[in-house]
Chain A
Amino acid sequence: MLISIVASVALLAYATSLAGALGYLGLETRALAKMFLTLAYNPGLRELTAMAPEAVTAIVWDFRGVDTLYETVVFYMAIIAALAIYRGVPKVGGGGGTGLSLIVRVVTKLLIPMNIAVALSIAVHGHLTPGGGFQAGAALAVISVLLAVVYSFSSYGRVGIDIPKAVTLRSVGLVAIALVVFTPLIYSLVTGAQAYLMQNYVKVDSGFSFPAEVFGQLISGTLIWLNVAEFLAVSFGFCIIFMLLSLREEVIRPALVGEEHGP
Chain B
Amino acid sequence: MLYLKDIKKAFREPDGAALPILDIAEFRVAPGEQMVLVGRSGCGKTTLLQVIAGISRPDEGHVRVNDWDITLMGEAECDRFRAEHIGYVFQTFNLLRGFSALENVLLAMRFTGRRVDRGRAKHLLERVGLAHRTTHKPAALSVGEQQRVAVARALANRPKLLLADEPTANVDAGHQQQVLDLLRETCGEEQVALVLVTHTPEVARQFDRVDNLEDFNRAGKGAA
| A and B interact | no
Q: Point out residues on B near A: beta carbons under 8 Å.
A: none
Q: Point out residues on A near B: beta carbons under 8 Å.
A: none
